[in-house]
Structure 1
Amino acid sequence: MIKENADKLIIEYSPKIYGFAVKKAFSLEESEELAAEMVKEVYLSLLEANEVFNVEGYVWRICEHTYAKYVNSTKKHQGISLDGMEIPYYDNYNLGEKDKDLKKLRQEIGFLSEKRRQIIYSFYYEGKSIQKIATEEDLSEGTIKWHLNKARNDLKENFSMERKVGSLGISPIEAICFDHNGQPGIKGGPEVYLDDKINLNIVYSVYDSPKTKEGIAEEMGMTPVYLEDRIAFLAKNGFLVETSGKRYTTYVKFTPRERSLEQEEEILKSKIKVADSILKNYVPKVKEAIKKITDIYIPSGNPELFEATAIFYAIANKFDLPIVKNVSPYLIKTLDGGEYYVTVNLKSEIIDPDFKPILEESTRDYTACGSMTRNSWKYPTVKAWSNDNRFSTRKGMWQNNLNTDYDAIYEVICGDIEDNKANEEKFKRLRERGFITDDGRLNVLVVKKTMEEFDALIPSTEKEQLDEFAKIAIEQAVMLAKNYPPQMQDFIVFEFVKWYVDNTIAMIVLDKLYDSGEYKPLTQSEKATVNLLVFSDRLPQ
């Protein structure tokens, strides 16, 4: 190219080349140095070229090539500029006083939306053109420019903002255990999703107030880029629920981190009152009803064992107190087929440690797992009901209550298997559960009826009594709900009233029967089978 034409082109493109250098350079001084190098390379190339058909593309290819050489050869070049704020180009930079600012800028990029963050990375880190980014993102070039402009403005605004790490970023919560009421999925219950500490704290971060992805990230002291996939996963499985303004909440119940001994005793006092009423007015009806059941196998020969189990079953299943609340949002539906209400039990601090409980029952453990129903996978005529608590010696709660246990029990009932090498694992399992005695006898209560037939024999509760108990329960429930965030209060009232006559009341009733001497204490062998019923079309031979 003749010198005159090259001079004209270099005069035309010098301001553009300088702008390109400013965008790429780390400082003003460096931009001037880089621009001078680019102008020199472009000018020399123009002089040597015979003919240039696409001057624009030719100039920018040379500038990109010059910039690449500059990056590789100049140690000082450790970042690229974004309208006056530097974005680190390498990970192994060491910028002294600027190091803190660069880390802050990186953090703020992490708080951009996923789309905007990807465009920033493509444009500034990878050096892609707007046209190429538009093609890759399937957006117009104007939209890409708009995103870049919005990202710059967001970064400028947030760069000087002091982000506060929430309490979960400093002291994350830990679950004592997970409870569910309903049907677990193929993979298991809520622990499959929430046993991961980050997942658990993501859900808890929105418990007291809804938060955006960015708000969740701030609360946890992390950037959204590390949490987005987890948030999407938890939302798909029902543990997070998106609300207005792209914020998330949850309908998972977390037990309060503070508890009052006085309030707990007031609730227990009300349950003792209900237990007394049930013992006086309802238990005699259950005892009378089960006299009709004659086809029953009682391993110890003690009729009190069956009677106590039937009473527990009746209290746990026949006191459905009336309460009208829409609790469908609280039912967690997972992709693996789970459908259950979830409770995460947290460690709690007593706010009134000086309170002295006056009830003897306050010292007793009312933890229970159930009512659990199980079917035999192989034998459709077999079903089981059980409740694990301090009356029984069964361990492992619902996770250790396997459908296959009842396959093996039915085979023992029918005499179809022998205790030999071929069935070693089955009998080992039955002995571990206490379902086979040392002398080889089946140690399980077996009723020769379907569970539905048995349930039909158990008397229902009169409406007047249900209404009376519901009134007591609602009074306690309203007070209890104040310990929970607003979105959970309807469920707390519903749950408390619906299952107010629960395992605790059933255990109080049994305590009274045993403490009074009406029932003899359970033997070690009986503790393996109490509060467990197997319903079968056959009794043990």
Structure 2
Amino acid sequence: MNADIIESYIEKVYGYAVNHTFSREEADELSQEILFTAVRELPKLKDDSKFELWLWGIASNVTKTFRRYMGKQRAMYSYDTLESFPYEEEQKNESEELYDALRTRIAMLSELYRSIIILFYYDGLSIKQISEKLHIPEGTVTWRLSEARKKLKKECTEMNETALNPVKLMIRINGEGNYKDPISPFPYVYISDALSQNILYYCYETPKTVEALAKLCGVPAYYIEDCLGNLMKREAVSEVSKGKYRTDFIIYSNETREYAEKAKGIFAPVVEDFVSSMKILADAAERLGIYTAGKPKEELIYLYGILAMEHLSEKYNPIKWVERPVRYDGCRWSYHAYLMNGNQNPIRGLGREESSNLGSRGTYKHISYHFGGFSYREMMFDNEINICEDILLGRKINDTDSATSAIAKGFISKKENGKLFVTVPAFTKEQKQQLDLLADTAFQSSIDEYSDGVRKYVHGYQKLFPEHLKEDVARACSYMFLTLYATHICDMAKEKGLLTPPPDGSICDVLIQYK
């Protein structure tokens, strides 16, 4: 087999390495070791059709060896500082401590100033020699040296206490793309290390310099620079002016939770009429012959409600959608993050994952929702969806591997008679079209008032976020048409006894035929 094929797997191997290590440095080292081993062992591969299976087998074996080598415990940060600076005389302990402190402060400077200090004081070069070495004018060297001295004097104070109390973000994406861990990780995997999280947090409200970030995070500036390089490559941070960096996506904090509770009353007048509309739709849906997977009407009413909101959003959503940008990987998506307080998510929202099953033989897509009372269930992938479709249509099952996977994930179960049973409700294309028409009629008396409530809610909500994120905020506000149904209407209806809470462990997902 031609070794060139390995080139096409470089990004996937790196993604695998990121998922199996604790830092980008380790990921770089592990991915290089996997690729080197693969190139070396490639001549031994006899069956070209088994290349991918063979490659991930090598990756697994190399990873085991790598982990034994690196050890199981990792510090959150590496606090290494410059340790190789020469000085001639042996100093007293107090002097050594002074040198250590000075080296640490130099390490906190950005490369622009750090290199000047090292070349002048530690390497002993003159202004002229530094000018020649760095290919910059002597006047620039003199100015940078002066600025570096000022910064060192300023930095020789106690490190910001936040450096000892790092923040924790849970980063995710909204949008579309072809991602499947661990081979093709979601983009947020590459920016979820501890240092990245802290940089993103500190650059959120106002742009920060490398020196400011080094002080806030408590790590040498060269780690900050390396991390910023990756964050810019992954389009999470931008340089808004020379040497100043800003986070380019929304971070939800407790402020959003507080606003949600405060503004809850906006929807109090519409809850009863809205729930009446939901019940009218649920009654009418019973006549469509929908495959309900044996779920009771008390659960299905929530599913019908969210499907109705998705349909009605096209006409009644007061906040128009802003298209997501095309990202570095060619897909349209955007990051968002939650500032975690322990394990508590700062907002209650509507989770939605959709597997569109594109480029497959199947005609169905899978959508998984999770909100108040409904447990999270990961979305199906193409072959799993197709197996469910085969069962629904009474076809013979040939792909036993995908069937086994679907059973393990709970999408399929076995009846007492041994027959396979799909646990997810399903709509044919015609049934979904009919449900949309029924929703138009059922919500006629309540949708205008709900839409007006959404408009009032987002008027205050959009003020919670930095001005530079207005496109991201517009998208978040547009999605509120669906979210507020899940977090406010449904919750208030359950509190008033208008809706029955779903039993523990309930799932809200659906298969919809779309072609």
Query: Residue 275 of structure 1: CA displacement?
Result: 3.5
Aligned with residue 270 of structure 1, among 266, 274, 298 = 266
Q: Contact 1:164 / 1:218 at 8 angstroms: preserved in 2?
A: no
Q: Which whole-Å CA distance do the structure 2 matches of 1:156 and 1:515 have between them?
A: 63
Structure 2 partner of 1:150: 143
- 1:52-91 residue pairs with structure 2 within 5 A? 88-89=85-86
- Give the aligned residue type for 2:194: K
Task: Give 5+ residue unaligned stretches, structure 2.
Answer: 1-83
Can you list the C-alpha shifts for 1:392-429, whole angstroms capped at 9, x where unaligned? 45x4x44x54344213323434555559xx82563253
TM-score, normalised to structure 1's length?
0.62
Give the CA deviation at 1:325.
8.0
CA 184–198 in structure 1, closer or farther in 2 if over 3 Å, else same: farther
Judge conservation of contact 1:163–1:218 (CA < 8 Å) in 2: no
- Report matched runs for 1:308-387 at 5 Å: 308-319=302-313, 322-323=317-318, 334-348=327-341, 368-370=350-352, 372-375=354-357, 378-387=360-369
In 2, the alpha carbon distance for the partners of 1:523 and 1:101 equals 64
1:216 is matched with which residue: 213, 235, 245? 213
Cα distance between partner residues in 1 of 2:160 and 2:178: 33
SS at match of 1:442: strand
CA spacing shift, 1:435–1:504, aligned 2, 3 Å: farther
> 1:93 & 1:184 partners in 2: Cα distance?
60
5 Å-filtered alignment, 1:355-504, equals: 368-370=350-352, 372-375=354-357, 378-389=360-371, 392=374, 395=376, 397-398=377-378, 401-414=380-393, 417-418=396-397, 423=400, 426-439=403-416, 440-443=419-422, 444-449=424-429, 453=433, 457=437, 459-460=439-440, 468-481=449-462, 483-488=464-469, 492=473, 494=474, 497-504=477-484
Look at both structures and tell me which one has the larger radius of gyration over its CA atoms: 1
CA distance in 1, matches of 2:436, 2:142: 71
Give the 3-state SS of the residue equivalent to 2:313 in structure 1.
coil
State the TM-score, normalizing by the size of structure 2.
0.65
Residues 278 and 134 of structure 1, relative CA distance in 2, 3 Å threshold: same
Q: Which amino acid aligns with 2:404?
A: F
Q: 8 Å contact 2:171–2:336 — kept in the other structure?
A: yes
SS of aligned partner of 2:363: coil
Q: Distance in 2 between matches of 1:89 and 1:118?
A: 15
Shift in Å at residue 279 of structure 1?
A: 2.5
Give the C-alpha shift of residue 281 in structure 1.
Answer: 4.6
Letter in 2 for 1:502: L
Q: Percent identity among equivalent residues? A: 18
Q: How many residues align?
A: 418
- Structure 1 gaps of 5+ residues are 1-86, 350-364
Give the counterpart of 1:114 among 102, 111, 114: 111
- The answer to whether 1:181 aligns with 2:174 is yes
Tell whether the 8 Å contact from 1:392 to 1:531 is kept in structure 2 after alignment.
Answer: no
Tell me, in whole angstroms, the C-alpha distance in 1 between the residues paired with 2:294 and 2:215. Answer: 61
8 A contact 2:173–2:187 mirrored in 1: yes
Match of 2:236 in 1: 239
CA–CA distance in 1 between the matches of 2:256 and 2:496? 32
- Distance in structure 1 (CA, Å) of the matches to 2:487 and 2:462: 24
Instruction: Provide the secondary structure at the position in 2 that maps to 1:429.
Output: helix
Corresponding residue of 1:255: 252
- The whole-number CA distance in structure 2 between the counterparts of 1:504 and 1:217 is 40
In 2: Cα distance, 1:452 partner to 1:414 partner:
17
Alignment partner, residue 207 of structure 1 = 204
Residue 510 of structure 2 is matched in structure 1 by: 532
Measured against aligned partners, the alpha-carbon deviations of 1:210-252 in whole angstroms (never above 9, x if no partner) come to: 1122222222122321111211211222211222343222232
Distance 1:168 1:91 in 2: 36
Alignment check: 8 A CA contact 2:106 2:152 kept: no
1:509–1:152 CA distance, 2 compared to 1 (3 A): closer
Q: Where does residue 297 of structure 1 map in the other structure?
A: 291
Label 1:307 to 1:182 Cα distance change in 2 as closer, same or farther (>3 A): same
2:236, 2:248 within 8 Å by CA — same for their partners in 1? yes
In 2, are the aligned partners of 1:256 and 1:348 still within 8 Å (CA)? no
Distance 1:409 1:507, change over 3 A: farther
Shift of 1:133: 6.3
Structure 2 Cα separation of the partners of residues 101 and 523 of structure 1: 64
